[in-house]
Structure 1
Amino acid sequence: MPGPSNKKQKRLDYRQAQKEDGITNMPKKKFYRQRAHANPFSDHRLTYPTRPEDMDWSTFFPAFVADAQLDQRPDTAEGTESPAKLPPKKLTKEVEVVDIGCGFGGLLVALSPVMPDTLLLGMEIRSQVSEFVQDRIKALRIKDPGQKQFQNIGCLRANTMKFLPNFFRKAQLSKIFICFPDPHFKQRKHKARIVSTTLNSEYAYVLKPGGIVYTITDVEDLHKWMVQHLEAHPSFERIPEEEQEADACVQVMRTETEEGKKVERNKGPKFVALFRRMEDPPW
């Protein structure tokens, strides 16, 4: 007589049932649990475009697919056995806001009504967590009778430390959120921190002039590290605190992420710093 299903089997059964039901109910986190840390230097067997023009965003933002889409395949070249690959479908808007390490998607969901005309993307390296956010977005869209809300958010499993420029062209983004990133306390692990001299150059590349990097953490040492490295970069300047507090996204970032809520319950500190992408100097 078989014993009770283990946790992994229960997760698989739950998610299969979710798919069969069409994701009509909000997903439950306990069936998408995964280790809090993922090694960004490991090979996670991720798929990514060779260049931003090759990325098909239509599955993430179907409501923003351009009306005039040619579904016919290009003619097969003479002497070949299969037709050429279809080009990616075009959207009416480009992705402008990215939440790096989006976790369970709290910030995305909260920002969706705040920025209804902007496409927001969460990028998460953990497979189970990114699948939870994708299922959460599907459920939210189904629950909206007018099917207008939450159409502007999506989640992609990706390693931003390796492949950020593969997804976004130069000066495409207006905002990058880095909320409660892994502190990597040990000095030998500092190379895995999501803010560094090298990565800051990639953020500067994909951000348009005037774009903003938002950072928040409950670890003071990490806050000082991020401030130090972003202030030292020639493409960024720190935004004054008065202007920072007037930004509507800052309050959302403080209160709506899962980690932010946990810090709030534990009455812990939250350290916030914003940095503006400056114009490139003339040649």
Structure 2
Amino acid sequence: MPGPPKKRQKRDEKQDGDMPQKKYYRQRAHANPFSDHDLTYPESPDVMDWSQHYPAFVEQSGNTSIDKDRKSEDQNDASPPKMSKQIEIADIGCGFGGLLFALAPKLPDTLILGLEIRTSVTEFVQEKAKALRSQNAAAGLYNNISCIRANAMKFLPNFFHKAQLSKIFLCFPDPHFKARKHKQRIVSTSLNSEYAFVMKPGGKVYTITDVEDLHLWMVEHFEAHSSFERVNDDEVEGDVCVEVMKTETEEGKKVERNDGTKYVAVFRRLKDPPWP
């Protein structure tokens, strides 16, 4: 007697507009960021084609016939379609996209991108975004979110220009408890410099975890970096993004169910001092 259908088969049976079922996209919770994951990434942000991710924000030239002719002439030499907006918010290690889907209707004119290293999880977020766009077409919601499979520890500057982002979220990252694994943590002296590079002055990095040791590690490394300062508690409590981060992520809900503690810290990107 044949066994149950494979996960891939169940995914393929889904009709356009149907909401994906998370159980068919489950994958290992953690991935080694130093492994070769056979990733595709652009040589620079200028050659990244975002039109497939945010089709509603592609600039229209007004002459579609010329555009089609140009595309057919040489696909290899063609520049990516021009976008009316740039991505401003990045959720690094977005998981199943709870933060993305919660922020999308609150910030409908801001492009938000999730970066996830796991293949199946990335596919789930992409499919759910498409389904939500279809279901909310009349209201024009969820056109501003997408997800790509990427290793932010290696290729963040390949996707974003200098001073492009206004917010970066690091929600419940892998704690890597063993001391020899600390180099794999998503916060470090070198990685904080990359976050500083892609963030505009005044932008914020949002961190949350249920592991106190990791929280202290992130605070220590951001406070020690000359490009960041910690945001005071009053400002953190009044930030709607903090509340969404605490309540809408899959891990955040799990911690809530288990009566765990959520440790939150937010850091502001400082303006670079002038060259002497």
| TM bin (shorter chain) | over 0.9
Structure 2: where are the runs of 5+ without partners?
none
Instruction: Give the aligned partner of residue 99 of structure 2.
Output: 107
Instruction: Give the aligned partner of residue 16 of structure 1.
Output: 12
Looking at structure 1, the residues matched to 187 and 75 of structure 2 have their Cα atoms a distance apart, in angstroms, of: 43
| TM-score, normalisation: structure 1 | 0.93
Offset, 1:131: 0.3
SS in 1 for 2:13: helix
Instruction: Give the aligned partner of residue 3 of structure 1.
Output: 2
Offset, 1:74: 7.2
Matched pairs, number: 271
Offset, 1:85: 2.3
Instruction: Give the aligned partner of residue 49 of structure 1.
Output: 42
Offset, 1:47: 0.5
Instruction: Give the aligned partner of residue 59 of structure 2.
Output: 66
Looking at structure 1, the residues matched to 127 and 194 of structure 2 have their Cα atoms a distance apart, in angstroms, of: 30
- Select 2:173's aligned residue among 177, 181, 199: 181
Instruction: Give the aligned partner of residue 225 of structure 1.
Output: 217
Structure 1: where are the runs of 5+ without partners?
77-81
Instruction: Give the aligned partner of residue 265 of structure 1.
Output: 257
Looking at structure 2, the residues matched to 150 and 229 of structure 1 have their Cα atoms a distance apart, in angstroms, of: 34
Amino acid at match of 2:221: H
Deviations 1:227-273 (A, max 9, x none): 00000000000000001111110001000000000000001000000
Offset, 1:114: 1.2
Looking at structure 1, the residues matched to 132 and 90 of structure 2 have their Cα atoms a distance apart, in angstroms, of: 19
Tell which deviates more after alignment, 83-92 or 236-245.
83-92
Correspondence list, 1:78-227, <5 A: 84-227=76-219
Looking at structure 1, the residues matched to 270 and 224 of structure 2 have their Cα atoms a distance apart, in angstroms, of: 13
Looking at structure 2, the residues matched to 185 and 83 of structure 1 have their Cα atoms a distance apart, in angstroms, of: 47
Amino acid at match of 2:24: F
Instruction: Give the aligned partner of residue 79 of structure 1.
Output: none
Q: Percent identity?
A: 63
Amino acid at match of 1:32: Y
CA 1:74–1:253 in 2, change beyond 3 Å: closer, same or farther? closer
Instruction: Give the aligned partner of residue 29 of structure 1.
Output: 22
CA 1:144–1:170 in 2, change beyond 3 Å: closer, same or farther? same
Offset, 1:32: 0.3
Tell which deviates more after alignment, 220-229 or 144-153.
144-153
Looking at structure 2, the residues matched to 195 and 262 of structure 1 have their Cα atoms a distance apart, in angstroms, of: 23
Looking at structure 2, the residues matched to 229 and 272 of structure 1 have their Cα atoms a distance apart, in angstroms, of: 15
Deviations 1:135-166 (A, max 9, x none): 01011111114150000001011000000000
Amino acid at match of 2:85: K
State the superposition RMSD in angstroms.
Answer: 1.4
| TM-score, normalisation: structure 2 | 0.95
